[in-house]
Structure 1
């Protein structure tokens, strides 16, 4: 990593990137509350409306590894601008969409939103000192978390302020994305390290097919039936494609993903922890909401909260996650990142296990979810740093992209597993989830986080808190001058 270029350069790099992540979080957080409005606007069914969010997740899973590798090869700032340009075009299409096809195309073009963070982390690792890079990662993750909270909480009032008309609201979102694209051509310097080799396009295409098969099947599993032929066939197809892709990656000297580096004993537990984090954080978002909305007079559990009350209590873990990610670098300076991650997953474990005993009281229920939020925030800030500092200098964005995809994949798998629990463990002959369903989900979440702790403890002993030894760039890497 290059030397710290000084305060003005630090502000130029980090300040604008933080603004990009705030907008990225806002755009992503605003999507879910707008689904009912999108349904009314386009005159489509509930199932069709769900593709408004699903198509972006699929596009993100496909684009993130490719954009990460292209950034390592051709410059992180360059690919950051490309990503922002595609996202801006997508938001404009969404705002102007005359029909569902154009709307979904626009949402697919917004997929590279998820590639912004890996590219930004690659940029700050190259341009800042070790300590400066660590602080920057914490700020970027914190900004993304805060933006998501603001997007989820403010898009409703924004819609009301604009007279309840959806199109002006979408235009405001598009203007913010276009503004980020314009800002990207100002003070941001280019990264100087270049990776060796060329883009593995066939590997990217094979990975895209595998991810579409897996995520598409998981997203439709509940509708098709988890034991149905289409679901089992889709899962089998994705397994075959992933196996073929892994063999291809291992055989190529300049593959899309360095599979051997991901599978190393000192890095695999952190990638696996990213999968667990995605499962409990992304997959479990709707579980607490449905529990708080349940009427105890009818179900024997829940708090019968109104929508505004659910929003109030639901934002608590998100705020705590923002606080945790913002404090991550400062805490890690004192105790080290590896200990910090053990604490993060320890808090997650305690939070989920606590829910088993405190779910009957709203205040202790909120406290347990706050613990989960803090754990998520610390993990969100710490995992990318440990993964990046253990990767080769010319693979920074690629390594972060793999982590990002595993986290998203964990969210998809976790969401599917939780949906099965809520749909299978029901009250009598109804389709209402029983208390056992929620207890099973919380037990599973706590157990998964405890397994992540055991995996991290199994690492052979590097001293906690020390930076992973720098991995020299491969022969043939290019170190360029400032952009």
Structure 2
């Protein structure tokens, strides 16, 4: 049963601006949790005397946690209010960050990372708040700006982690204290700037659907992220993939039979939503392929490998990757303007076209720093336009009370794409190595980087196809001004 909640008048323009900035900060914190530990994994492994397989769970645990909690909390926010859900998620994330910043146990560090992973739900919740509170004429620009902070947060996390662990005796705990500080600032902002939800659908939580979806995602993402360690043809890997297929069927049957399902299968299979999620998976793949590929490439010692620039971890982050994230942030508002002017479908296609150009450049010419940085900036523009268009496509395709869960599923699709990119690029780079004297670590051949960048460019080609063929004009959602959700109870809960 749906229930409308009385609410004060919409915030004034100044209040809307503050709201967008606060939600942008919260979204930035989300993306930081994904990449914060990447530069410090070797430090953690050394300090905690952990194995390579053991320390890999510091990243895998967050990925799995995000996959499990994002749809559940997105739906919970739709049902019971976005603000209290946002506050609860931030509190959990702060507690996890404090635990990670104070522990010297790998087990408890992984627990802290699981708690940090819940923060991924902040992004779809933020988009739901924007849909309720922002004037229709400004909605797409606001969503684009908040979406753009995701890429910026990833770059900021890399730079911050690199700076905080410089010196002869690096301490990885400082990196997690940075997460604590930013999360506390975001929490204060949410408490002060985010109004109570205008509408709550109410209803019971579909715990069975949430559980089966969680198990499906764990069985899918676990072998993708651990397959390189386990072996791609090992029993664990193949068994997990087989289990994921079985659980996919169980989840669909569960959601079709439950009276109040967590995910409406009609919404999930709705053509614009389905193809937007496919675009999200491809975009997540391409973005992470650029991040991993460039990061490894520029750190290759040219005097040994015959290519690369011998950059440090900090140098790779600041010099080669940060320009990409800055362009993504600056282009976010422009992406919102394009969505209003030419539509989300065309903006998605235009962004993907930039991605094709950027990766073609990177594939053919990655022998100079200027070329790698320039290509990365073009890719950053592509990522920004993709992030700007996908929330607009989702929001224009689903009723207001399904905004949180729909954007949550789209967030998961990007996470799956990123996980696939991480596994594929890592495997590609390890598959063909340069013959070096005994005792020296294996280095990938340059051809493996070229192939990786070409595959990522192919992902953007598929995004162009999705935009023009999967989201054809008579199927694609329109992106003009959206009406504010009606306050009547029967309208708020309408399917």
Common fold: TM-score over 0.5: yes
Give the secondary-structure state (helix, strand or coil) at the position aligned to 2:197: coil
Choose which of 386, 410, 414 in structure 2 pairs with 1:403: 410
Match in the other structure for 2:296? 290
1:254-286 per-position Cα deviation (integer Å, ceiling 9, x unaligned): 321223223222332211000001111124421
Moved more, 234-243 or 361-370: 361-370
**1:169, distance to aligned residue in structure 2 (A):** 5.0
Aligned residues: 479
Aligned partners of 1:266 and 1:460 also within 8 Å: no
Counterparts of 1:11-410 in structure 2, within 5 Å, are 11-159=17-165, 164-167=170-173, 169-195=175-201, 197-311=203-317, 312-410=319-417
Q: Gapped runs of 5+ residues in structure 1?
A: none
Distance 2:243 2:171 in 1: 43
Match in the other structure for 1:461? 473
Moved more, 195-204 or 247-256: 247-256
1:136-195 per-position Cα deviation (integer Å, ceiling 9, x unaligned): 212212333323322221233345599854445533432432343344332321121223
Give the secondary-structure state (helix, strand or coil) at the position aligned to 1:254: coil
Change in 2 beyond 3 A, CA 1:106/1:258: same
Change in 2 beyond 3 A, CA 1:431/1:43: closer
Aligned partners of 1:390 and 1:468 also within 8 Å: no
**1:438, distance to aligned residue in structure 2 (A):** 2.2
Distance 2:490 2:433 in 1: 58
Moved more, 408-417 or 134-143: 134-143
Moved more, 422-431 or 37-46: 422-431
TM-score (normalizing by structure 1): 0.90
1:355-387 per-position Cα deviation (integer Å, ceiling 9, x unaligned): 232233332232222211110111112211221
Choose which of 457, 463, 467 in structure 2 pairs with 1:452: 463
Moved more, 61-70 or 328-337: 328-337
TM-score (normalizing by structure 2): 0.88
Q: Gapped runs of 5+ residues in structure 2?
A: 1-6
Aligned partners of 1:21 and 1:117 also within 8 Å: yes
Distance 1:352 1:168 in 2: 35
Change in 2 beyond 3 A, CA 1:15/1:356: closer
Distance 2:434 2:175 in 1: 41
1:443 correspondence with 2:449: no
Aligned partners of 1:88 and 1:181 also within 8 Å: no
**1:196, distance to aligned residue in structure 2 (A):** 5.8
Match in the other structure for 1:432? 443
Change in 2 beyond 3 A, CA 1:296/1:100: closer
1:421 correspondence with 2:428: yes
Change in 2 beyond 3 A, CA 1:416/1:474: farther
Change in 2 beyond 3 A, CA 1:207/1:285: same
Change in 2 beyond 3 A, CA 1:354/1:112: same
Distance 1:93 1:63 in 2: 19
Moved more, 225-234 or 38-47: 38-47
**1:233, distance to aligned residue in structure 2 (A):** 1.1
RMSD, matched Cα = 2.9
Distance 2:446 2:172 in 1: 38
